[in-house]
Amino acid sequence: MTDAFTTWLLLAGPLWAVFGLWALPRFAGSRKVKDETGLARLQVAGVVGGFALGPVGLGIFYLQPRWITRASLTVGLLLAVFISSQVLVRIEDPNLPSALWLILAGPLWSVIAAYFIPRRYREAEADDQNALTAAALGGFAIGPLIFGLLWQHTPKISRDWIIVLGSLGAWQIYTLFALHNADNLCVAAPYHITYLAQQTANGVVIGCIYSLMAVGLTLIYSVQGIVSFAHGQLYMVGGYFSFYFLLHGSNLLSELTGTEISINPLWGIPVAGIIVFLMGALFERAFLKPMHEGLIERVSEYAILITFGFGFVIEYTTLAIAGPFPQRTDRFIEIRRFTFPRTQITDQFTFGPINIIGDRAFAMVIGILLIFALLYFLQRSWTGRALRATSQDRQAAAVTGINPTNMNTLSFGLGSMLAAMSGAALIPIFAWVPWVGAEMVGRSYVIVVLGGLGSVPGALVGGIIVGIVEALGAGCHPDPSRGAAYKEAFALVIFALVLLLKPTGLFGREQT
């Protein structure tokens, strides 16, 4: 055990956090409000102050209880993270803190807390909505201390609790990772911040693009209650419609004008969207409407099979028409940053140390704009509200004069359109083949469940989370040779964890 570690354990750290958890509410409580919220805040202050600065921190909060604010606790938490990380990285043997962490916190305490604390909330007839999540994250991050915070007074658990405990747990993982992989690009100073920022930016950019496709899927689910297994193929065919529109449109214009004209791929996006909207709407009318009219006996199986079949037909028809050879359209935008000789060709936006490929940035902006346009449509227009109303209660919606049948058609058409526009936005970026949708659609299912089935903002957030997790996972994996191969697995781990802790997904609502 090193001197730094011993000193830290004596002057601050987990022992003082335990003491603070017990002492601060007891001694400062009489001088501070005694309601439930105040008590919980004192407990948090005891843990944070003790962990960060030991007796000094506790003394400050004891003498000046009015300084116990959200801001001071955040600062204290950051200070605790900083000091302890500085101490831990100086430890020569990384196994020691890992072993301590596994004993004092980590997955074992996470499971224990997740088992007992929600029961305690139910017994106390307290609001247990976030109890499971907070207990699991708390056990993981601060071990048995979470019982001290939550057991006796069962305080109302806000989203702040989850964010703080989750961040603390993530920081611990990062610190332990750093201890065991000191040379990893994600932890090795001085460039790790830049590198992490670059990888996070990569993740955000691709995540927004993922989201656009997932939004269509979630829209269909929210209104119709079915998962479209043709979504990947609609995404793919959207790219092809854009490609052929641009190809033939450019040729036609060139012939008419006598000069070489190349239509910007941006124009392919609405064209693909409109065509595929009509395809989706027609398919819905022909094959899904009977299902909603009660003409189909086994609705769930029918929905799976019919959408799967639709996707199959689209894929193989496209293969027959377009062939198996990869295609790609021109760029959205030509950005030439000459930094010869280090880089000969770069088509990138540069924000300080972060580089983003121009077309990806453009596609990301398109994705965000389309998602916000959809949100605006759903929130502000009568038709959008009708769609939302149908998704919440079809019968009640029908009573108010909304035609659920039309809403079904509209939702499937819109969902298909969004998939196609997503494809049209990505064909300038990826090599396009008739089976290109397979990988993307698998990820879309993860995103919509992660974000909460039926939630548009959930799909956006879920997409970004998946993008970031994949980028950081591939970029930080200790074994560089395996990072890229496990990319999708990282997102699936997060997906599984979120579903364990919050089965409705991040923004999902309980089924009624």
Partner 1 sequence: MKHSKALFVSIALVALLALAPMGLVSADGHCEFDDYTIKLGGLAPMSAPGAVAGGVAMDWAFKQAAADINADCGVQIDGVNYMLEVITGDSEGSPERGQAVAERLILEDEVDGMVGVYHSAVGLATMGIMEENGIPTIFSEPWNDNVSANGIREFDGAPPRFDDGIDHIFRISPASSMVGSVVTDWLIALGVEDVVLIVENTDYGQPAAADEQARLEAAGVAVSQIDVELGTEDFVPILSRIQASAEPPDAIRIVVTGETSFNLTQQMAELGIAPTPDTICVTNQIAFQHVQYWATVPDGNYCAFNRVGIIPSLFNDTAIELNAAYEMEFGDIVPSFGMASYDAVFMMVDAMERAGSYSDAAAIVEAIEASDILLSQGRYYFTYGAHNESMPADDSMPDFMWHQWPDPIVTVMQYFEQGQSSLDAAVVYPEVYQTHGTAYVVPGTSP
Separation between Cα atoms, residue 65 and residue 31, nearest integer Å = 8
Judged by CB under 8 A, which stretch of 95-103, 251-259, 345-353, 417-425 contacts partner 1? Answer: 345-353
433 binds partner 1 (CB under 8 A): yes
How many CB atoms are located within 10 Å of the residue 68 CB?
Answer: 23
Query: Quick one: tokens of 189?
Result: 């100073």
Q: Around Cβ 111, how many Cβ atoms within 10 Å?
A: 14
C-beta closer to partner 1: residue 77 or 209 = 209
Token output for 87: 């101490």
**Residue 406 is which amino acid?**
N
Question: Does residue number 326 form part of the binding site for partner 1 (CB under 8 A)?
Answer: yes
d(C-alpha 106, C-alpha 143), whole Å: 7
438 is an interface residue for partner 1 by CB under 8 A: yes
Residue 471 binds partner 1, judged by CB under 8 A? yes
339 strand-pairing partners: 343
Nearer to partner 1, 181 or 346 (CB): 346
CB-wise, 347 or 405, nearer to partner 1? 347
Contact with partner 1 (CB under 8 A) among 392, 487, 506, 509? 487
355 touches partner 1 (CB under 8 A)? yes
Distance CA 83, CA 92 (A): 17
Comparing CB distances to partner 1, the nearer of 453 and 491 is 491
Give me the residues paired with residue 350 across strands: 355
If one asks whether residue 177 binds partner 1 (CB under 8 A), the answer comes out as no
* Between 49 and 428, CB nearer to partner 1: 428
319 binds partner 1 (CB under 8 A): yes
Please say which residue, 327 or 504, places its beta carbon nearer to partner 1: 327
Query: Contact letters (x/-) for partner 1, 358-397, by CB under 8 A?
Result: --x-------------------------------------
Reduce the DSSP state of residue 355 to 3 states and report it.
Answer: strand
3-state SS record for 75-107? HHHHHHHHHHHHHHCCCCCCHHHHHHHHHHCHH
Which residues, in sequence order, are CB contacts of 366 under 8 Å at separation 6+? 212, 266, 269, 421, 425
Closest CA to 4 of 98, 79, 84: 84
Least Å distance, CB 313 to partner 1, is 14
Does residue 324 interact with partner 1 by CB under 8 A?
Answer: yes
The answer to the question of residue 478 lying near partner 1 (CB under 8 A) is: no
Instruction: Work out whether 474 is an interface residue with partner 1 (CB under 8 A).
Output: yes
CA distance 131 to 395: 34
Residues at the interface with partner 1 (CB under 8 A): 185, 191, 194-195, 198-199, 202-203, 206, 319, 323-328, 339-348, 355, 357, 360, 430-431, 433-436, 438-440, 470-475, 480-485, 487-488
